């Protein structure tokens, strides 16, 4: 089996509360930190890349309140933010995509530099653009580029760069909303679950047709989390659609059927999380799935099943979850390397692997990650943070393998 890791390293500069961040990602990464520490901001940086590629950079920024809300506010008044993603494509080729966006005097913004390379500079496809001008490229023809858009959108028309575009837009980011999952939904593209679960009926319909085995896996985990619920299916309601659940009823020989409308928040959220995790199939697979606080609205006893589902899903798809729940992390066998601690100090977010004391406590089974979190002792490695601050990893340039 090929490795499920798509993003190997993420470098961020002045993205919301994150001044500087340079982290490596695992097949399954837990981002752990208190409320307001900056976990969502980290995921949002990757989500912005997807949004800017699927729609436009303009839209992606507007949806977030514009550049002033996206770039970090601090006494140092940074005027730009930057994102660098290092990846392994499904073909096994390594590469990176990076850009920074700066403010213009007239209140607008521009992409100052954008760079993409596959297989190492000079060896594979490569381009570098500054303020809407192509500086270097491996290709003999290149589409017109402008400084208010990410060139990768236009460049995705070239076969050389298409795999990077496809892989980046196949990332899914989730903050499931039971209210929207409960409403009747318009039949739509069901290949990739949308961020709050607004197309879950179409996704389940798609899996029913193309991947019965994934439906089975989702049903099994759902039943562990919510034992009364036996199954679910897509159900057409006039021109709209929804989900219908089968549920045990005391004294009744046959399960009762309920539409999503009457299901609990916890059940809908659990189904959303499981669908996000197991939506990948032969027809279409996300390259990375990021889930916000998957334990929300679940009974603490469901945490073990949720952890197992996360681990199982991460054998095929790279998973990132944010959490501030000790219950989710109460497992002596959790790998310390799968965790990144997120900490806010003076309004600035720091993200790093766990410090040696936390790792040792977990390795020697003295405390689980959950217990350390309860004691407020799940802390980022100070030395790594100091090195991050001192070295300020470059956004641009070749990957160091
Ligand atoms: N542009 C910005 N500059 C500085 N801080 C920001 C910016 N945008 C949001 N924040 C801060 O980020 C914090 C919330 O981070 P978030 O990622 O939502 O936390 P959580 O860890 O709970 O997911 C808030 O305290 C907010 O003040
Ligand atoms: Mg959050």
37 Cα nearest atom in ligand 1: 21
Q: Examine residue 264 and state whether it is found in any structural domain, yes or no.
A: yes
Q: Is 182 in the pocket of ligand 1 (CB under 6 A)?
A: no
Q: Is 73 in the pocket of ligand 1 (CB under 6 A)?
A: yes
Q: Are 386 and 91 in contact (CB under 8 A)?
A: no
Q: Examine residue 225 and state whether it is found in any structural domain, yes or no.
A: yes
Q: Examine residue 186 and state whether it is found in any structural domain, yes or no.
A: yes
Q: Is 72 in the pocket of ligand 1 (CB under 6 A)?
A: yes
Which residue owns the Cα nearest ligand 1 atom 18? 40
Q: Is 323 in the pocket of ligand 1 (CB under 6 A)?
A: no
Q: Is 16 in the pocket of ligand 1 (CB under 6 A)?
A: yes
Q: Examine residue 364 and state whether it is found in any structural domain, yes or no.
A: no
Nearest ligand, CA of residue 293? 2
Q: Examine residue 216 and state whether it is found in any structural domain, yes or no.
A: yes
Q: Examine residue 305 and state whether it is found in any structural domain, yes or no.
A: no
73 Cα nearest atom in ligand 1: 3
**Which residue carries 């709209």 as its tokens?**
240
Q: Examine residue 308 and state whether it is found in any structural domain, yes or no.
A: no
Long-range contacts of residues 247-255, Cβ cutoff 8 Å, at least 24 apart: 255/230
pLDDT in tens, the chain (401 residues): 568 999 999 999 999 999 999 999 999 999 999 999 999 999 999 999 999 999 999 999 999 999 999 999 988 777 899 999 999 999 999 999 999 999 999 889 999 999 999 998 778 999 999 999 999 999 999 999 999 999 999 999 999 999 999 999 999 999 999 999 999 999 999 999 999 999 999 999 999 999 999 999 999 999 999 999 999 999 999 999 999 999 988 888 888 999 999 999 999 999 999 999 999 998 899 999 999 999 998 888 899 999 999 999 999 999 999 999 999 999 988 999 999 999 999 999 999 999 999 999 999 999 999 999 999 999 999 999 999 888 888 999 887 65
Q: Can you give the residue range of the structural domain that contains 220? A: 173-286
Which residue owns the Cα nearest ligand 1 atom 5? 17
Which residue owns the Cα nearest ligand 1 atom 12? 17
| pLDDT recorded at residue 400 | 62
Question: pTM value?
Answer: 0.96
**Interval between CA 193 and ligand 1 midpoint (Å):** 25
Q: Examine residue 218 and state whether it is found in any structural domain, yes or no.
A: yes
Q: Is 37 in the pocket of ligand 1 (CB under 6 A)?
A: yes
**Interval between CA 64 and ligand 1 midpoint (Å):** 12
Domain count, the chain: 1
């Amino acid at each position: 089996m090929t490795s499920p890791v798509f993003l190997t390293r993420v470098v961020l500069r002045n993205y919301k509360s994150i001044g500087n961040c340079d982290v490596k990602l695992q097949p399954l990464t837990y981002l752990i930190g208190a409320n307001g520490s900056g976990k969502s901001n980290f995921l949002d940086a990757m989500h912005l890349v997807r949004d800017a590629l699927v729609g436009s950079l303009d839209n992606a920024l507007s949806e977030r309140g514009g550049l002033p809300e996206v770039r970090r506010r601090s006494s140092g008044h940074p005027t730009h933010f930057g994102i660098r993603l290092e990846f392994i494509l499904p073909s096994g080729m390594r590469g990176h995509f990076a850009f920074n966006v700066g403010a213009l005097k007239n209140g607008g913004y521009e992409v100052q530099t954008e760079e993409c390379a596959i297989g190492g500079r000079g060896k594979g496809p490569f381009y570098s653009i500054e303020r809407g001008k192509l500086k270097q490229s491996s290709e003999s023809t290149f589409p017109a580029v402008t400084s208010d858009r990410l060139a990768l959108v236009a460049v995705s028309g070239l076969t050389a760069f298409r795999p990077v575009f496809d892989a980046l837009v196949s990332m899914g980011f989730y903050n499931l909303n039971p209210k929207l999952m409960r409403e009747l939904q318009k039949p739509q593209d069901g290949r990739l679950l949308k961020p709050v679960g607004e197309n879950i009926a179409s996704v389940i319909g798609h899996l029913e047709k193309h991947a019965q085995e994934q439906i089975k896996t989702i049903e099994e985990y759902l039943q562990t989390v919510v034992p009364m619920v036996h199954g679910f299916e897509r159900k057409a309601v006039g021109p709209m659609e929804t989900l219908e659940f089968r549920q045990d009823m005391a004294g009744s020989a046959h399960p009762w059927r309920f539409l999503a409308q009457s299901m609990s928040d916890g059940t809908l959220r659990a189904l959303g999380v499981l669908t996000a995790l197991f939506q990948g199939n032969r027809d279409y697979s996300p390259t990375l799935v990021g889930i916000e606080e998957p334990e929300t609205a679940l009974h603490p006893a469901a945490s073990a099943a949720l952890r197992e589902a996360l681990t199982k899903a991460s054998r095929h798809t790279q998973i990132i979850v944010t959490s501030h729940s000790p219950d989710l992390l109460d497992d002596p066998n959790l790998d310390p390397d799968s965790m990144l601690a997120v900490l806010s100090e003076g309004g600035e977010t720091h993200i790093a692997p766990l410090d040696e004391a936390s790792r040792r406590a977990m390795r020697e089974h003295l405390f689980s990650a959950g217990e350390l979190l309860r004691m407020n002792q799940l802390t980022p490695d100070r030395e790594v943070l100091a090195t991050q601050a001192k070295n300020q990893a470059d956004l641009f340039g070749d990957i160091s393998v």
